[in-house]
Amino acid sequence: MSEAPKNPLRWMALVILDRAELPQFEDVAQAVGEYFSDSPVMTAAGATEKLLTCSIGEYTAAATLVDKPVPWSQLEGPCATAWYWPDAADALRNHEAHLLVTLIDEGGSAVEKSTCLTQWVAGLVASTPTLGVFWGPSRMVHPARAFIEQAVQLSPTDLPLFLWVDFRIEQLDNGNSRLYTTGLEALGFSELEVHEFAGDPQHLLEFAYNIAHYQIGKNKVINDGDTIGLTEEVQVTARREPSIFDEKIEVIKLEIEVAKE
């Protein structure tokens, strides 16, 4: 089975602006320092009227001001599926400009790079009239305030996976649910899929989140046939299978068994 193609949006985000404004590096660096006490040293590398570049520890980051809206075709889908932000379309539809935010892939771990990009984006959001954030690897949109609130909780034992990964739940015709993720591949892990779950969708979300956080936080590869005990009542068996959406991509199919009371 061939490997999944590399995500072209792997280390990219869009900061969606109410008006065109490129922040000062000093303001961004100050915000990052206040939010993240253990953040790497930030050093300005250059600035023009529409481009801000800097080094963040070992990485190079940039923010380019684009004084026109993000094409609505790129935001319409993510807004429509943002169940956690019902007003996303109304909030973002009439924005005037955006920042194209990038982190140059210079090696290092995917979690380190995601952390670095998150901190850079949070500093930019705090320093600009931001309406929302489009996170490239997961193709999700987030409200500006919520992005910062989740980002500042970031730690090695509490990764902001709801910023980084789309845990998509869909209802099936029989009333049960299925789940699939987008964004784990960018972090170096296989995407998760649950083809059918008969219980509470919120429990399904929690199960998938905990498994994703476990494999990323522990750098644990889940193999075909592995069993995972989430609780005494919940057992999960992992199967490595082709995705139900693209048979060329291998995913981890989770078979969840919940003990009956």
Per-residue pLDDT tens digits for 15-73: 999 999 999 999 999 999 999 988 889 999 988 999 999 999 899 999 999 999 999 99
| Residue 9: per-residue pLDDT | 55
The DSSP line for 30-62 is HHHHHH-TTPPPEEEEEE-SSEEEEEETTEEEE
Q: Give residue-wise pLDDT tens across range 145-167.
A: 999 999 999 988 899 999 999 99
Q: Residue 8: which pLDDT band, with cuts at 50, 70 and 90? A: very low
Asked if residue 1 has pLDDT above 60, the reply is no
Residues 6+ apart with CB under 8 A from 85: 79, 91, 132, 141, 142, 143, 146
Q: Residue 179: which pLDDT band, with cuts at 50, 70 and 90? A: very high
| Residue 261: per-residue pLDDT | 59
| Residue 201: per-residue pLDDT | 93
Where do the domains of the chain lie? 12-162, 165-258
From edge to edge, which strands make up the β-sheet containing 166-171? 166-171, 177-182, 192-197, 250-258, 234-242, 227-229
CA-nearest of 95, 15, 7, 92 to 52 is 15
| Residue 4: per-residue pLDDT | 39
